[in-house]
Chains A and B, each alone.
Chain A
Amino acid sequence: MTGSSESEHAGRGATATSTPIIEARGIVKRFGGVVAVDDVSLAVAPGEIHGLVGENGAGKSTLMRVLAGVLAPNEGSVFVDGHQLDPGNTREALEAGVSLVHQELSLVPEMTVAENILLGSTPTRAGFINGRQQRRIAAEALEEIGVTVDLDEPISRLSVALRQFVEIARAVARKPQVLILDEPTATLTPAETEYLLDMLKRLASRGLAVAYISHRIPEIFAICDRVTVLRDGSLVASEAIGDLTPQSVVQHMVGRDLQLDLESRRQDPDIGDTVLSARGVRAPGVNDIDLDVRAGEIVGLGGLVGAGRTELVRAMIGADPRSGGDTLITLGGTTRRITSYRAAIAAGVAYIPEERRSDGLALTMTVVDNIALPNRSALSRAFVLQRRRIAEFATALATSVNLRPPEIEREVGQYSGGNQQKVVLAKWLGREPDVIVLDEPTRGVDVGAKVEIHRLIRELADGGAAVLVVSSDLPELLELSDTIHVVRDGRIVGVLSAAQADETAVMALASGQQEVDVA
């Protein structure tokens, strides 16, 4: 059914199979030794809204950035209107009419809405800014997307939602043929999301081709005409929306040869009383969280990128400031209210941060120095570091985490990701913590180290520690956790016991798929 691109769009079922305006063929993209996108082809027609879904790390953003000319693919090419684009040439892609709305907002906080919309393409007359034209183009762009905001308002005073809309206005102001949005609703409320979706439908009905990345099933089913599902960098499905159901999409997203190592799951863990509890914790991105972790228990926090899990744990332990709520730690019959990060550490909390390179390790220092840092009072006498004691201490810990090779005098930055993560763990183990919070403990870690780290985590729980794990790796989450709390939009939307939890259940809660069923 070739032909009109305009009418066929508005609703489910009908597919625009007219000639695509943008096409990616056989895209392969590698980063170092890792294949992020593995031979994916995609096409979007004018007036079509094409959804791109997949788990964290499936390759969606990478693919879109290749389409927009931000990244050059290792193999494959992008065609716009039949012409092949110069790979990695952002300018050319922009001029060809491909506009990408970034995931990280690319706005200058102290400049006005109008200035930001025209940033980089400010109209001038002999070098002087043509204010009138700037405002005119900005106003037109805003009108096109149906948003009202004062052109002279600085971005810093706008809500996150409005900033997102200004970012979209910037993309639209260039009068693109293709609009690519990467998780635009990650920080929006449901009402704001609805507004955005209506906007996109309007734009598509005027002939714009839209590529829409999201892992929120309800949104996909609300506006998309076709859906492409990526998994581990490969294309697993590309269908018209009418041929899909929410369940089938989720199935495509997670359906791997389930090689869950369920044998290594802890059987009958010895779980004691509540050690760590959060009551009404509030922070930017965290909305009124109550959470308990008991001694000997491993609680997993599941959810999608941007759900607020990292913000949640950091606010709980005080690593970032809280705007409300309390964290309590109960040990040996005494309950303490934790009011600062250092107090939390003193009370027996260990925190393994998400970004080990920037937050977890001093890369230019040696293994032994990194391990010694949080343990220095135990390892020094009268403020003088006891070299031998430290060396023994560090060697023992490095061995216990199976650091390979256990050269404690080597610079930590020279070790692989897996070994680095082991060092992060080792430094806290020396304190025999009662509460351990880990954020993405095996991200960027090789398979062997991953298994070892999992073993360590289980041993810690067996030893009576209360363990809280944030993970975007579903199998890992399922293999480790005794209980899984699923987080979405800064709230806990579901609690699953080990018995109840499987990938589909977690993903359904995380992506909001359950809501679609209800409707």
Chain B
Amino acid sequence: MTPETSEKARTRPPVAQVEEELGKKAFKLSEWMAQQGIFLFTAVLVLFAVVFIDGFASLPNLTDVFNRAAPIGIVAAGMTFVVISGNYLDLSVVAQVATAAVVLIAVTNAVGLLPAILFAIAIALVYGIVNGIAVGVFKANAVIVTLSTTFIGLGVLRWLTGGSIYFGDSDGPIRTFGTTRIGPLPLAMILFVVVTLLLSLVLTRTNFGFMVRAYGSNREATRLAGVNTPLVVIGAFTMSALGAMLGGFVLAAFSNTAVSSMSDGYDFRALAAIIVGGTSVFGGRGSVMRTLLGVVFVSVLTNIMVLSGLGFGFQQMAIGLLIVLAVSVDALARKTRVS
């Protein structure tokens, strides 16, 4: 509230106008990179893969890529809600995906499919509410909160399962789901597309999605518009949890097995997909469809590395680097933006 902010408008001198033009250009370039760059980069990457990587363009390989992309994509789509709300990310998806997979297979074997699904939903709600309250009501840092819930969640899972592998019935409903195809497309792939579209609609067309985006864009303005902001945060983490749950289901369905370690790497892959897709980690910008694109990019990149003989370690390095670079571009775009 310093006096000089109370300005009386007068005509602008020409020098100021030129400075503004230059500033606008710099902003436009980094802004373009952050926003539209992904389309170009993905196209280039796919082209590169098709031309230079042996075996990429074959049907079995592409099917494999899609199969791996589907569960990650669903998880990333759900986690997009958390990132757009400005709460960085949800690390606990690693625990949630594995938990959902194990619950699906183990409980179906023991009791039935429907109880398994209900139980998994309940667990997802617990995660969403615990994370959401810690971050939304206690205003604690989302990275540390979800770090702790990851350890708690994985601890519970490993303790209860002892690390054992669960196998689904060889003619059970899960196996059927995992192997059914409609035309050339696996059912799981269609589920992936459907879920992504659904989540995208939730984010763009519903009250709730609207509030999440507004909250990510400006917390205080959203609060002052009368929105119940703690509930918005809880909702965002719940969406992430439901996405992780569905991702876990799909993951389990592919192999008809579940083990606590099967979700390794889901945290950074999902985050990379979201950020590379153009959703800003600062909140407010982005969409689920962009995350879809980011998933394509990350999956193709991973596949290129696998086909080139680079192991898990290299993949982690590459994706970690990708995350840092993508966020840097975003940060620079913000800096040059006239505020």
Tier of interface size on chain A: 35 or more
Q: Does the CB pair A369–B7 fall under 8 Å?
A: no
Q: Does the CB pair A374–B208 fall under 8 Å?
A: no
Q: A32-B12, A376-B210, A377-B207 are in contact. Are A319 and B224 (CB under 8 A)?
A: yes
Tell which of A53-61, A109-117, A497-505 binds the partner: A53-61
A35 within 8 A of B: yes
Number of interface residues of B (CB under 8 A): 35
Which residues of chain B come closer than 8 Å to A427, judged between CB atoms? 225
Q: A358-B218, A359-B220 are in contact. Are A380 and B9 (CB under 8 A)?
A: no
B227 within 8 A of A: yes
- Indicate which residue in B3, B207, B224 contacts A380 across the interface (CB closer than 8 Å): B207
Q: A362-B217, A364-B285, A365-B217 are in contact. Are A376 and B211 (CB under 8 A)?
A: yes
Q: In chain B between 216 and 236, which residues have their CB closer than 8 angstroms to a CB of chain A?
A: 217-218, 220-228
How many angstroms from the CA of A103 to the CA of B5 in the assembled complex? 14
Q: Does the CB pair A305–B9 fall under 8 Å?
A: no
A126 within 8 A of B: no
Q: Does the CB pair A360–B7 fall under 8 Å?
A: no
Tell which of A15-23, A85-93, A341-349, A396-404 binds the partner: A341-349
Tell which of A243-251, A290-298, A439-447, A454-462 binds the partner: A439-447
Q: Does the CB pair B217–A383 fall under 8 Å?
A: no
Q: Does the CB pair B224–A351 fall under 8 Å?
A: yes
Which residues of chain A come closer than 8 Å to B10, judged between CB atoms? 33-35
A277 within 8 A of B: no
Q: A57-B3, A345-B226, A443-B6 are in contact. Are A360 and B210 (CB under 8 A)?
A: no
How many angstroms from the CA of A32 to the CA of B9 in the assembled complex? 10
Q: A33-B11, A33-B13 are in contact. Are A373 and B2 (CB under 8 A)?
A: no
Q: A31-B7, A342-B228, A443-B6 are in contact. Are A373 and B206 (CB under 8 A)?
A: no
Q: Who on chain B is nearest to A304 by CB?
A: B3
- Indicate which residue in A32, A61, A354, A376 contacts B16 across the interface (CB closer than 8 Å): A32
Q: Does the CB pair B207–A385 fall under 8 Å?
A: yes
How many angstroms from the CA of A62 to the CA of B7 in the assembled complex? 12
Q: A358-B218, A374-B226 are in contact. Are A380 and B6 (CB under 8 A)?
A: no
Which residues of chain A come closer than 8 Å to B210, judged between CB atoms? 369, 372-373, 376, 385
Q: Does the CB pair A383–B207 fall under 8 Å?
A: yes
Q: Who on chain B is nearest to A416 by CB?
A: B9
Which residues of chain A come closer than 8 Å to B175, judged between CB atoms? none
A353 within 8 A of B: yes
How many angstroms from the CA of A189 to the CA of B168 in the assembled complex? 76
Q: A305-B1, A365-B214, A369-B210 are in contact. Are A360 and B221 (CB under 8 A)?
A: yes
4 closest residue pairs by CB, A with B = A57-B6, A33-B12, A362-B217, A345-B226
